[in-house]
């Protein structure tokens, strides 16, 4: 069997590594950071099926995960939609999820090199799963933190403000700990105040900011990422790419983690044939890229249009009226976006 080298030990890289190891393929994984760690993420996984998790040999890692079945959408200080999710979402903190995957990868005999930042150089047998790249031209900032003492309604609260959206979801079954994660287009850089609460207030979400002030933030969980570039990513010729490095779906869908797992699933069969010597690297890479296009193109294009609507003041008004009057096709959108 030929060896596969994966760069990036996030969800796409680790799950692909585990699935390849299960088929007897030797895998080396190079990760720039270390584990466990907090990640900027809403920690609400929408869309992934049990079959995908089983195909990747990781379904058992989610046995004790939370199941989220409802979502409340707010525009400003007004709740405009209470929806039951057609298919439950999975809830787990990234601290826990990435660590579980890391352990499973090593348990199966994978070679993990942490604090190993690679330079992107395409070569045979190398899969790039290094997540999003900094896009200097992008104004999008993602911030997340865990809070205690913040009461939550339902399993997901999605708050839409001026040029921003923020998701709240419980990360413990007793609901005592809540993840708060937002994507912002406008923010200031003043020192002192908690940057997440400040950005929430600057987005016009006064009530939410007050609720967060009433809770206690876990300072260590406060992480941010700037220059988030959504949509298809620029990919070097001859590079085999999966996950956020390939394309990034707008976070309001809660579908990015599912897409990372789905991308690993889509890449698996071709990489296995390559490792067995039945397929050339060039053919493998092209097959993977075509499969990802077929699987994600429609979902991505709808999500990008809706994202533009949600961060635009007029679009937000249209959304708000449609949601409050019951004409928003929520179930249809949910199915198409996951």
Q: Which residues contact ligand FAD by CB under 6 A?
A: 7-13, 30-33, 40-45, 117-118, 129-131, 142, 167, 181, 183, 228, 243-244, 251, 254-258, 260
> Helices 206-213 & 195-202, crossing angle to 10 degrees?
160
Q: Which is nearer to ligand FAD, 42 or 203 (CB)?
A: 42
Minimum separation from the CB atom of position 33 to ligand FAD (A): 4
Reported as type and span, the H/E element at residue 99 is helix 94-107
Minimum separation from the CB atom of position 206 to ligand FAD (A): 21
**3-state secondary structure at position 222:** coil
Q: Which is nearer to ligand FAD, 2 or 117 (CB)?
A: 117
Q: Which is nearer to ligand FAD, 44 or 62 (CB)?
A: 44
- Residue nearest ligand FAD, Cβ-based: 10
Minimum separation from the CB atom of position 181 to ligand FAD (A): 5
Q: Which is nearer to ligand FAD, 183 or 316 (CB)?
A: 183
Minimum separation from the CB atom of position 186 to ligand FAD (A): 15
Minimum separation from the CB atom of position 16 to ligand FAD (A): 9
Q: Which is nearer to ligand FAD, 283 or 298 (CB)?
A: 298
The pair of three-digit structure tokens given for residue 202, joined into one six-digit string: 């600057």
Q: What DSSP letter does each residue of 35-59 carry, written as one string?
A: SS---S---EE-S--HHHHHHTT-G
Pairing of strands 216-217, 141-148: antiparallel
Nearest to 204 by CA among 112, 279, 316, 95: 316
Q: Which is nearer to ligand FAD, 143 or 275 (CB)?
A: 143
Please tell me what DSSP assigns to residue 243. Answer: G
Distance CA 134, CA 227 (A): 5
| Separation of CA 321 from chain center | 28
Distance CA 287, CA 260 (A): 17
What does the buried/exposed string (b/e) look like for 90-119 if buried means 16 or more CB atoms within 10 Å of the residue's CB? bbbbbbebbebbbebbbeeebebeeeeeee
Minimum separation from the CB atom of position 224 to ligand FAD (A): 9
Minimum separation from the CB atom of position 276 to ligand FAD (A): 25
Q: Which is nearer to ligand FAD, 62 or 314 (CB)?
A: 62
């Amino acid at each position: 069997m030929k060896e596969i080298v994966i760069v990036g030990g996030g969800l796409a890289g680790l799950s692909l590594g585990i699935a390849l190891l299960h088929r007897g393929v030797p895998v080396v994984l190079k990760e720039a950071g270390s584990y466990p760690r907090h990640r900027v993420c809403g920690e609400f996984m929408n869309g992934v099926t049990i079959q995908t998790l089983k195909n990747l040999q990781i379904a058992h890692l989610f046995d004790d995960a939370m199941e989220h079945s409802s979502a409340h959408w707010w525009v400003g200080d007004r709740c405009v939609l209470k929806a039951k999710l057609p298919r439950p979402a999975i809830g787990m903190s990234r601290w826990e999820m990435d660590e579980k995957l890391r352990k499973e990868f090593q348990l199966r005999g994978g070679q993990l090199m942490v604090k190993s930042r690679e330079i992107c150089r395409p070569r045979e047998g190398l899969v790039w799963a290094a997540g999003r790249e900094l896009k200097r031209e992008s104004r999008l900032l993602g911030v997340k933190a865990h809070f205690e003492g913040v009461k939550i309604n339902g399993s997901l609260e999605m708050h839409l403000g001026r040029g921003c959206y923020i998701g709240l979801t419980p990360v413990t079954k007793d609901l005592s700990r809540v993840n708060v994660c937002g994507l912002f287009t406008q923010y200031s850089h003043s020192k002192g105040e908690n940057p997440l609460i400040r950005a929430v207030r600057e987005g016009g979400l006064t009530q939410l900011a007050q609720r967060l002030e009433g809770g206690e933030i876990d300072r260590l969980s406060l992480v941010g990422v700037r220059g988030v570039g959504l949509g298809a990513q620029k990919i070097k010729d001859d590079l085999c790419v999966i996950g956020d490095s390939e394309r990034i779906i707008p976070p309001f869908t809660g579908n990015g983690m599912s897409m990372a797992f789905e991308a690993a699933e889509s890449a698996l069969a071709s990489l296995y044939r390559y490792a067995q010597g039945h397929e050339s690297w060039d053919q493998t890479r092209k097959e993977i890229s075509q499969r990802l296009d077929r699987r994600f193109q429609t979902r991505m294009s709808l999500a990008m249009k809706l994202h533009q609507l949600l961060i635009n003041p007029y679009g937000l008004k249209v959304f708000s009226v449609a949601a409050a009057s019951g004409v928003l096709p929520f179930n249809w959108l949910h199915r198409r976006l996951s």
